[in-house]
Amino acid sequence: MDFCGSLALLVFVLPVLILVSLAIIYNMGWPAIFTHTRSGKGKKPFKIFKLRTMQNPSVGATDESRITKLGGFLRKWSIDELPQLFNVIRGEMSLIGPRPLLPEYDKHYSKKQNKRFLVRPGITGLAQITGRNGLTWEEKFFLDVEYVENLSFVNDFKVLVGTVYVVFRAKGFRKSGEDQKFTGNKVG
């Protein structure tokens, strides 16, 4: 289902990806799409595809100051995530699952939080429709584990419908993402 669904979505959004890529190249230069290493199923690293939303780094620049006006728009409406359909087609991701995070976080998860690695990471998930970047790390991981422990087609359908609702309302959006990196659990 992931492969067929991603292929169908990709055909539908390809014109948008092309136009947005041209706008990124015009506004920020090459490349329009970048890759970043994330932890996948079983903590296996993979390169995630995203549309570029930031200027190249300069000395002392914060991530938030590097986000361009176009980049802020792409993030608000989750358009920057569309190239991850290629990750799904390649079998590295699923349409729905816990969001893939940086490998540097791998050593900080509790035993229970490590359950998030029993499934492929997703473009969207239960945490994204529940509060997006307004949630704490602990809340996100609780929802990730909740998703893994209750896998079903019905729950996936609910997340898919919830994603459409959240994206079109830009609910829980924060331009720069999380306030801070995950450095471990506050509570056991």
What digits encode the pLDDT tens for the residues 54-72? Answer: 887 665 666 677 889 999 9
Whole-prediction pTM: 0.88
Q: What is the pLDDT of residue 175?
A: 60
Answer whether 36's CB lies under 8 Å from 45's CB: no
Q: For 120-161, what is each residue's pLDDT tens digit?
A: 999 999 999 998 778 899 999 999 999 999 999 999 999 999
**Best CA proximity match to 5, nearest among 174, 177, 173, 153:** 153
